[in-house]
Every structure is written in structure tokens, then in C-alpha cells.
Copies of this chain bind each other. A is one copy, B any other.
Amino acid sequence: MERGNLFIISAPSGTGKTTILKRIIAAMTNVAFSVSHTTRLPRPGEQEGVDYYFIDKDAFAAIRQQGLFLEWAEVHGNLYGTSRSVVQAATGKGIDIILDIDVQGARQVKEKLGAEGIFVFISPPSLAELEGRLAGRSTESEAAIATRLANAKEEMKRIGQYDYVIINDEVDQAAEVLKAIIIAARSRNRRALSGEPLNLIF
């Protein structure tokens, strides 16, 4: 059995990443989200080891200090982290793992894993189009939309660290492209990457 791949997927807010990822998880076998560690308390219905690994701040700090997180971040006072061993346990079973994280988290993973991870950026067709989509939701103030757009501009500057850029012009097509990237990755020639002896295949 081949080891699974690790996909690190980022997108500016409002780009449609969540919709695309839900379709991928529903449509493909052997693809799953990574389960993060968090210091946040469980919400009703959330299950340990399924939604998150729930740990206290001391345990989180200990894991972090040992360098065992691929990436971590503080959000609204709670800590979230992706454990290297959780990812390795899943990929070791042949499951492709998706990390749905922002550009700062992706940068941390890139520093730790380099070419081992497959980095995918989902981009709006343009900032004007993104602004239109955010305004179209009409659930947010103009100030909030302006903040999201400013963040998007900053995030776009980090696009150079990604192996693939999917322009989400149309969600069905964008999901097909992400699916193709995942399928293609399963046929990458690990012999070429690893320098293993070439006669292993027979």
C-alpha cells in the first residue's frame, strides 16, 4: 500500500474553499481532513478524536515545545495545532490528508515538510470578483468586507509558496481540478523522489 499524501489548502475568505473541500470529501474515497488538537472546550456533539483532540493549555504547550506540531495558531484566545504524528498515522494507512489552513499555517508546514507536502492555493478570479461575492452575502458591514479584502491582498502575496493555484471561477470546475491534483499525486513517482532502487516495482 502506498503512503497517503498531505495536501495543504489555503484560500482567502470568501473564495469558496469550504464548498470545494466538502465536495471533495463527499466524492472521493481515502481523503479526510486532519483532526486538530485544541484547547477550546468541546461543543455539544463534538467527539474526541473525530472533531478535535481536546487538550489543556499545559499539554498543548508541551507538544509545541517539543516541535511536534506541523503548525499551530491562536484564534480568539484558543490554541489550535496540527500534530505531525496524527498526520503520519493517517497517511501511513494510505489516506490522503487535507489541512485546511491559512497562509501563515501553510508557511509553518512548508518550513517543516518542504516538498513532502502538496500546497494548493484556491484563488478568486480577481479582487473585484471577491469583493462582489463578499458584498453579495450581505451579512457583513462594509468595514468587515474591507478588512477581508485587505487580508486577501496580503494572502495573495504568499502565493509563491504553493505548488498549485486553482482559480475558482466556477465551483464545479474548481472542485474537478482539485480532484485531479489529488489523483495525480497518487501516481507521483516516489522512486524518483526518494532515490530508492528502481527494481523494487517487480
Contact = CB atoms under 8 A, between A and B. Distances in A.
A79 interface: no
Q: How large is the interface on A (under 10, 10 to 19, 20 to 34, 35 or more residues)?
A: 35 or more
A182 B171 CA distance: 19
Nearest to A157: B198
Contacts of A185: 184
Given A159-B198, A159-B201, A198-B156, A184 B187 contact: no
A189 B164 contact: yes
Contact of A165 (B180, B181, B189): B189
A177 B184 contact: yes
Contact of A180 (B158, B180, B201): B180
B156 A199 contact: yes
Interface stretch (A85-93, A119-127, A139-147): A119-127
Contacts of A189: 121, 159-160, 162-165
Nearest to A193: B163
A56 interface: no
14 contacts: A126-B202, A127-B202, A156-B201, A158-B198, A159-B191, A160-B195, A161-B192, A162-B192, A164-B184, A165-B187, A165-B201, A177-B183, A179-B180, A180-B181
B177 A187 contact: yes
Contact of A192 (B127, B163, B184): B163
